[in-house]
Chains A and B, each alone.
Chain A
């Protein structure tokens, strides 16, 4: 097991190296002199030259890369071109909002997706099976922003039961501790704020969670169907186990193995993919921040965000592989 873990960690290193090189080159491949872009067109020649010096743009490329990466490792991505604030601070101001949204939508996706998948598998070809598989297909095909708008119009404008957008109504304020409003409001014993934050999470959570929910449902269904055909399930049945026990203890454990992989992969993808949902629901996370940075050619911001998301993606992948190895010992031997 240990050698497997070490091997996997070892393999993550070249991936990270590759990502960091790409992120670094991004600035140098974009048209225009980075220093000039950062200072704006009105900058004088001297100040451009000075910034080039400060940024080390006069040095050979490999040296610049070493400086970039040694700073990045220490969390120093420089200042945002637009706001002049340290990029890493800006990132962490917004990141908890994205984490909270991602976790909630993942929770919704996992619970509903797995349940629907199991029921569909057990009651194959029933009305519920068709309904949930149709729903899954629709969920995968629906653009997130479109679904978001539909949810807003139905639940907020027409029914008026859920807030339209944002993380919290303007009458509340939660002092950030963890940055996760659900936790911070409880820490502050502010229950009205907690419920308000919860209400604000429902629609974006559903919108962002729909695609993974659909994928999980389909994966669970097909994987469960496969497992249920196995001999040991038949044996369990023959031994007289109750069908609940057969499904949840015998079948689900093995049936979930591929689903775990998918969930892990999607968690990374969700973090990066929250951009559309965040824009639709005015969610103050990193999504909107990155989009703006791209528009404004705010390279340090784009570099920082891309690198951190990539690293998270790699780490989540690594964890998934390790969990996978724990629940399925065969993997380790290969």
Chain B
């Protein structure tokens, strides 16, 4: 009885602590500045950090997951043939009023049509503003969307060229954010169309106030936000390029949350009584692609041998400082349809040697490993990983030379298949397995300049992922993707190396901050317990 009473009291205490408070300014410390605040033109995560606060999409990722939920569209319907998507907009949603846009404008179908059609229609006045729409093109939207039509003031219909199951997830991505048509028209009339990327007007939880380049972006709460007023009064995204300096800022309390700490500094931060950590498995994979169009990597046995020769666990422990786990599939475990029944290739140099002999290389061979020159969430130190792989391969008689270039050249050259083996990785954009399997491993993606840098071409694999692409039935798609992972396992075009764990250190008073697997940073439900 006493225990129960204590329990009840504790419960009440937690409830009391956990009830959110309004007010305060949150400063978020990040590594780089936004390039543009027009999400349709941005290609870098830092730009999306800046725009995501201001804008909403028709649909969004449920906070902390890859599931899709309604946002500006209250609901949607898909036609039987999968070619027509009808979205019913939330009524009474208002665009922000700011110093540079004082009109009172309600969201309608026209805004949706403006925001997306400008990216596909070459006659659209905004088509040429700000250069190419890279994400629209990267997601192959030109070959998916035929037309976008207004049904009535609050209803929009997307007509597709072909059934495309990942389409709905694409609409939750930043490039599909909904901008204000009236504002864009005003800018165009004033001859300042380019300003749309500098002074954003959206419907999102925060209203843009100021952007001091390379320093900070300042927002205030949107008190009329349809999803409920954010708890914070103000939000500041502050640029602090050096990771150690960012950690120092967190320790002194001048920022509340820090992005991307140095893995080796995390333990020290964790010791600080004012700091806590939020962790999440990243939606990513780091891999070593073997160029399957080149000898000896056209031989499955060689590829299997290499998979068995590399000690992934040791690499994850040493290079990822424990913030990661060895991979066995090309998609991360947080992704739906992840095939957990697959047994990873065991680390077994002896067996690897046997396989190599079977393949006709009893004495090994000479090759090269390309090392990524920049740290990425899925691979914190390409050079160290390459050295570990080099040492492992030497044990089975493969002499590998480490090659590296500056990042731009590296990407350019790997896209053209100049390498034998090369490290690379991927962070999911839309939470759909298609975004990994099709983008990185389909024959279509093996066309130069290729995203599929293993130049893996498998009819069996292609058939499965293409069928999954045109089916809207999630159970069916799951089954197909699981099978595709089996094919991948058999034909092993890569050594899947690791999935990283994202760690976000923050002050103790920051409450309800969640990391999104798709890499977003959202603050609409965050509050300060002071």
Chain A residues with a Cβ under 8 A of chain B: 31-32, 38-43, 47, 81-85, 90, 93-94, 145, 149, 152-153, 156-157, 160, 163-167, 169-170, 173, 279-282, 284-285, 288-289, 292, 295-297
Chain B residues with Cβ below 8 Å from A296 are 408
CB neighbours (8 Å) of B213 from chain A are 90, 93-94, 284, 289
Determine whether the beta carbon of B242 is less than 8 Å from that of A40: no
Check A167 against B249 for contact (C-beta < 8 Å). Answer: no
Inter-chain contact B254/A164, CB cutoff 8 Å: yes
Query: What are the residues of chain B within 8 A of A167 when measuring CB–CB?
Result: 215
Q: Are A156 and B241 in contact (CB under 8 A)?
A: no
How far does the alpha carbon of A32 sit from the alpha carbon of B36 in the complex, in Å? 25
Query: Which chain B residue shows the least CB distance to A295?
Result: B407
Say whether B252 contacts A160, CB under 8 Å.
yes
Q: Choose among A164, A280, A284, A295 the residue that contacts B249 (Cβ–Cβ < 8 A).
A: A164
| B214 in contact (CB, < 8 A) | yes
Docked pose: A310 CA to B50 CA in angstroms: 33
Cβ-neighbour of B245 out of A38, A41, A280, A284 (below 8 A): A280
Residues of B within 8 A of A85 (CB): 194, 197-198
Determine if B191 is an interface residue (Cβ-Cβ < 8 Å): no
Q: In the complex, are the beta carbons of A282 and B245 less than 8 A apart?
A: yes
CB contact under 8 A between A163 and B407, given known A41-B415, A170-B25: no
B132 and A43 form a contact (CB under 8 A): yes
Complex contact B245–A164 (CB within 8 A) = yes
Q: Which 9 A-B residue pairings sit nearest by Cβ, starting from the closest? A: A284-B214, A284-B215, A42-B137, A282-B240, A84-B130, A82-B35, A164-B249, A164-B248, A279-B241
The docked-state distance in angstroms from the alpha carbon of A279 to that of B243 is 10
> Taking chain B's interface residues, is the majority helix, strand, or loop, or is none over half, making it mixed?
mixed
Contact across chains for B216 and A170 when beta carbons are under 8 A apart: yes
A165 B408 Cβ-Cβ under 8 A: no
Given contacts A157-B252, A170-B254, A282-B242, 10 further A-B contacts (CB under 8 A): A84-B41, A90-B213, A164-B249, A164-B254, A165-B248, A280-B245, A282-B238, A288-B241, A295-B407, A295-B408
- In the complex, what residues of B have CB within 8 A of residue A32's CB? 412
Tell me which of A31, A38, A84, A90 has the highest count of chain B C-beta atoms within 10 A of its own C-beta: A84
Cross-chain contact B197 with A292 (CB below 8 angstroms):
no
Chain A residues within an 8 Å CB radius of B131: 38-39, 81, 84
Query: At the interface, yes or no: B134 with Cβ under 8 Å from chain A?
Result: yes
Q: Which residue of A lies closest to B451 (CB)?
A: A41
Q: How far is the CA of A32 from the CA of B27 in the complex (A)?
A: 40
A126 to B448, CA, bound (A): 71
Total A-B Cβ pairs within 8 A: 104
- When distances are taken between beta carbons in the complex, the residues of chain A under 8 Å from B198 are 85
- CA distance in complex: A295, B407 (Å): 8
Least CB separation from A291: chain B residue: B241
Q: Is B251 an interface residue (CB 8 A)?
A: yes
Which bucket holds chain B's interface residue count? 35 or more
Chain A: minimal CB distance from B409 (Å): 7
Interface members, chain B 461-495 (any A CB < 8 Å):
none
Say if the beta carbon of B356 comes within 8 Å of chain A. no
Report the minimum CB–CB distance from B176 to chain A (whole Å).
16
Check if B252 sits within 8 Å of A156, measured CB to CB.
yes
B70 within 8 A of A: no
Please tell me if the beta carbons of A288 and B138 are within 8 angstroms of each other in the complex: no
Give the complex CA separation of A281 and B241 in angstroms: 8
Contact B248 A279 (CB under 8 A): no
**Nearest CB of A to B351, in Å:** 40
Contacts of B194 on A, CB cut-off 8 Å?
Answer: 84-85
Whether A39 contacts B132 by the Cβ 8 Å rule is: yes
Query: What chain A residues lie within 8 Å of B449 (beta carbons)?
Result: 41
Taking a contact as CB atoms under 8 Å apart, the answer to whether A285 and B214 are in contact is yes
Contact of B251 among A38, A149, A157 (CB under 8 A): A157
Residue on A nearest B251 in the bound complex, by CB:
A157
B408: nearest residue on chain A (CB-CB)? A297
A290 CB to nearest B CB, Å: 11
Which among B35, B238, B412, B449 has the highest number of chain A CB atoms within 10 Å?
B35
Interface centre among B43, B194, B236, B241 (most CB of A within 10 A): B241
How far, in Å, is B331 (CB) from chain A's closest CB?
Answer: 23
User: Given A84-B194, A164-B245, A292-B32: A282 and B252 within 8 A (CB)?
Assistant: no
User: Known interface pairs A41-B449, A83-B35, A170-B27. Does A165 touch B216 (Cβ–Cβ under 8 Å)?
Assistant: no
| Cα(A47)–Cα(B245), bound, Å | 43
In Å, the complex CA distance between A43 and B132 comes to: 7
Residue with the highest number of chain B CB atoms closer than 10 Å, among A38, A82, A157, A160: A82
- 25 residue pairs A–B, Cβ–Cβ below 8 Å: A39-B132, A40-B43, A41-B449, A42-B132, A42-B134, A42-B138, A83-B36, A84-B130, A85-B194, A85-B197, A94-B214, A149-B242, A153-B248, A157-B251, A163-B254, A165-B240, A166-B238, A170-B27, A170-B216, A170-B238, A282-B241, A282-B242, A284-B215, A295-B407, A296-B408
